[in-house]
Amino acid sequence: MTRCRICDGQVRKFFDFGRQPLSDDFRAEEDVAGAFYFQLAVGVCASCSMVQLLEEVPRERMFNYDYPYHSSGSQRMREHFAQTARDLLATELTGPDPFCVEIGSNDGVMLGVVKDAGVRHLGVEPSGGVAELARKDGVRVRTDFFEQSTAAQIAAEEGRADVIYAANTICHIPYLDSVFRGVDALLSPGGVFVFEDPYLGDIVERHTFDQIYDEHFYLFTATSVREVARRFGFDLVDVRRLPVHGGEVRYTIARAGARTPSPAVEKLIAEESERRLHDLDVLEGLGTGIDRICEDLVKLLRDLRDQGARVAGYGATAKSATVLNYAGIGPELLPCVYDTTPAKIGRLMPGSHIPIRSAAEFGRPYPDYAVLFAWNHTDEILARETGFTEQGGRWIVYVPSVRVL
């Protein structure tokens, strides 16, 4: 029986993807034998409603010096983080000497705006490579994992933070107890802890099951976030739906009694209750949809192969590892995947071992069809790759169902 990392309640499994590789482990052909695999199964806690993975991957395996994801890699996300920084500067970082800490600051795209505003800041980023990129842009970064001991040291050296912010990071951290104790040690009495992560409600509604992979240990809802916040002396005081990364929610947390919760909190929690979002049968229904999508995608790729069509993938995303490995799609159905990230080009997709080529070669020549794995950047990609559709190319998407655009 698996116990919840937060409340020690029973975690009931609702889907199992089987053995999966690390989603960001893009290896050279000669190194594939040393790849790490784990059991990717997901369940829901019967006590606190937190949806979570059943097996924890050691953090050093996922977030190391060579971590390939760059937060600034998308124009849309650069704009998103710049606006987030401006909002925090206008609303929370307004005192005589405000201090902003970002957990998982990556290449510093958000803190760069805070830095340019002359506001004291610190990123806490365990992956050395992206941390160095941030430092080159003048962003202060501590290369470390955020936990209770780290937060206590920062508070002793730099004082309390008015804002602790994180994007696509808190859901990565199994030891939420240590994170919240760290927030307690570091956050000023009137400060806020703001984080945004993929939303379970969108995953269930749109069948975006590829959001489930090694790095996404938790799939949050307002209900489960409020529950964990209360256990550590905090209140969930605001929620905001975000259109980025396929559907996220931004949660704002303050010390208990410090702020009056927004009506948006109760509204979203009531919606989650009405949808029975944490019920085992509803979540098992997601599993039925996963199997249907994978079967349909494999059938389409086989049919296209048999017809002699040229097919490729676009976007060597972390989440595509879940799709490719669970569906059993390899080079025989998808000869290559195109991507813009230099660290991935020339390597292989995790587990499926599909070669990754530069997006600059996408039109040399264009394939007949392209599976859009980076579906959360659809508008940006379609605007960039107009030549593909102009010469008759067709995009294949698989959420919320398999279809040809």
Same fold, 71-278 and 282-404: yes
Task: Please report, for the chain, the start and end positions of each structural domain, with discontinuous segments joined by +.
Answer: 71-278, 282-404
Question: CA 79 to CA 47: how far, in whole Å?
Answer: 38
Longest Cα separation, the chain:
68
pLDDT score, position 65: 86
Q: How confident is the model at residue 403 (pLDDT cuts 50, 70, 90)?
A: very high
Over residues 8-61, the pLDDT tens digits come to: 999 999 999 999 999 999 999 999 998 999 999 999 999 999 999 999 999 999
The fold of 282-404 is Rossmann fold (3.40.50)
Class assignment of domain 71-278? Answer: alpha beta
Over residues 275-318, the pLDDT tens digits come to: 999 999 999 999 999 999 999 999 999 999 999 999 999 999 99
**378 touches 272 (CB < 8 A):** no
pTM of the model: 0.95
pLDDT score, position 47: 94
Q: Hey, what long-range contacts does 27-34 have (CB within 8 A, 24 or more apart)?
A: 27/347, 27/348, 27/350, 28/346, 28/347, 28/348, 29/348, 29/353, 32/348, 32/353
Closest by CA position to 319, among listed 404, 376, 383:
376
Over residues 51-98, the pLDDT tens digits come to: 999 999 999 999 988 888 889 988 999 999 999 999 999 999 999 999
pLDDT score, position 66: 87
**222 touches 196 (CB < 8 A):** no
Mean pLDDT of all residues in the chain? 96
pLDDT score, position 1: 75
